[in-house]
Amino acid sequence: MSADTQHEAEHYIGLMSGTSLDGVDVALAETGSAGQLRLIHTHYLPYPDRLRTQLLALHTPQPDEIHLAALAANELARLYATAVRALLDGVDSHSVRAIGCHGQTLRHRPADGYTLQIGNAALLAELTGITVVADFRSRDIAAGGQGAPLVPAFHAQALRHPSFHRVIANIGGIANITDLPTDGSIHGWDTGPGNMLLDAWIKRHRDSHYDHDGTWAASGTVHAGLLDMLASHAFLPLPPPKSAGREQFNLDWLDTTLARLSPAITPADVQATLLEFTAMSLCDAINRECHGVQELYVCGGGAHNSRLMQRIDARLPGVRVATTTALGIDPDWMEALAFAWLARQTMHHAPGNLPTVTGARGPRILGAIHPA
């Protein structure tokens, strides 16, 4: 038995705020001796509208952005600390070995050798009195990898099955998949937009943060010409490993694409087409790369969009399509759980990446530790 498998059960917190810019998911988990996780408590804290607007603005260059990003990082740390305190209501914080904090991504440019997630982990450690592990992506990028997606390593630990070829799809702002064959290498990559464009479009036209159950999309009609133009994005045919973000898929790109249409189409038809684009780019990636897949399990916000789930199911005949609820993990807490597990890996000096997923030169211990 290795030294790593001799550890007693421990408690970790996973803290995730993703590209959807909706809020903070925080989960308390207990890890077993071999790294298995048991979810104990969860809490969700939405972003204040002002902070969401600030963070969205920081995704593009602007005057005094270094100062503004530092202020936003401090505000995020205080919000994270508030979420942690709510999570631990009645639980002794000293029982938690570490917080795994992904932070809020402002730039993800592995081709240029860097990624930037803000959240001021030092301040979070100071405010909570708990050790914080942050900056998980940078070491993988330093080793020649994409730095993302990182969750497939947790999927492999928790969800791989010896008899069924599974794919796990996380549909957040960006969609990514983990290919879990019964044997052989595990792969995972970003497939394209998840909820990002859908959320941005409905915010612009209906002042809503998301399209509940895809109802607005279902009221429109998919525009074949627009779908073809969206599908011509240069990112989609790239072979994995690959990762994406707002740099590739954003409203400016959508507006430029829409300007090429004549005549213009209704906002509802655009929403219907964006939903189909998310389903199509996800399913095309699965059909192209995950040969012999038998089961697809969806997590993230997209798992709650019944219209999107219907379209994914229709595009994958012969594949069982369900949410990760069927595997015993609530779709809303998969990523937070994953960062609790990644914090555990770091604290145990164990690798947290999968080189077959990210393209890194080898396994690496991820994250920077900010002691309590």
Q: Tokens standing for 268?
A: 């509802």
Series of mean pLDDT values for 10-residue runs along the chain (372 residues): 56 92 94 81 95 93 95 98 96 96 95 96 98 98 96 95 98 96 96 96 96 97 98 96 93 96 95 98 97 97 97 98 97 96 97 96 98 96
What's the confidence (pLDDT) of residue 142?
98
Assess whether 181 and 321 both reside in one domain: yes
Assess whether 71 and 175 both reside in one domain: no
Assess whether 159 and 126 both reside in one domain: no
The CATH number for 126's domain is 3.30.420.40
| Pairing verdict, β 104-109 and 23-31 | unpaired
- The residue type at 319: V
Model-wide pTM > 0.85? yes
Assess whether 202 and 310 both reside in one domain: yes
Assess whether 339 and 274 both reside in one domain: no
Assess whether 209 and 295 both reside in one domain: yes
What's the confidence (pLDDT) of residue 34?
66
What's the confidence (pLDDT) of residue 7?
57
Assess whether 173 and 204 both reside in one domain: yes
Our count of domains for the chain comes to: 2
Assess whether 320 and 177 both reside in one domain: yes
What's the confidence (pLDDT) of residue 2?
38
Q: What is the CA radius of gyration of the chain?
A: 20
For 41-74, the pLDDT digits (tens) are 999 999 999 999 999 999 999 999 999 999 999 9
What's the confidence (pLDDT) of residue 35?
63
Q: Is the separation of the CB atoms in 334 and 300 below 8 Å?
A: yes
Assess whether 87 and 202 both reside in one domain: no
- The stretches of the chain forming alpha helices (DSSP H) are 49-57, 65-87, 121-128, 137-142, 151-159, 196-206, 215-219, 224-231, 251-258, 267-289, 306-315, 334-347, 355-358
Domain that residue 11 falls in: 3-147+333-370
Instruction: For 154, list phi and psi in degrees, rounded to 5.
Output: -70, -40
Assess whether 276 and 132 both reside in one domain: no
User: With pLDDT > 70 as the criterion, what percentage of the chain qualifies?
Assistant: 97
Assess whether 99 and 184 both reside in one domain: no
* Cis bond before residue 149 (omega within 30° of 0): yes
Q: Tokens standing for 103?
A: 């932070």
Assess whether 257 and 223 both reside in one domain: yes
